[in-house]
Amino acid sequence: MIIVNIDVMMAKRKMSLTELSEKVGISIVNMSILKTGKAKGVKFSTLNAVCKALDCQPGDVLEYRPDPEEESQ
């Protein structure tokens, strides 16, 4: 599964959801969906804008962890 760590980077940068959504150019609602990991996907252009706004790499905001169900099989 993919874990979204945007909230971690926002905390490190002391940036609010409102500020990040304005810098990225998407609504607060859509940024919240992305931040909580409920998004089904993310455009590279959005990921690029998030990384630019947070001054980070894609690996800082996205993390892969094996699904617990897959590990037990």
Sorted by where each starts, the structural domains of the chain and their CATH numbers stand as: 2-71 (1.10.260.40)
Contacts (Cβ under 8 Å, ≥6 apart) of 43: none
What does the chain come to in residues? 73
pLDDT of 36 strictly over 70: yes
Q: Which pLDDT does position 67 carry in this prediction? A: 86
How far apart, in Å, are the Cα atoms of 42 and each of 48, 51, 64? 10, 13, 15
pLDDT at 71 over 70: no
**pLDDT tens-place string over residues 38-66:** 999 999 999 999 999 999 999 999 999 99
pLDDT score of 13 more than 70? yes
Helices first, then strands: H and E counts in the chain: 6, 2
Q: Does pTM surpass 0.85?
A: yes
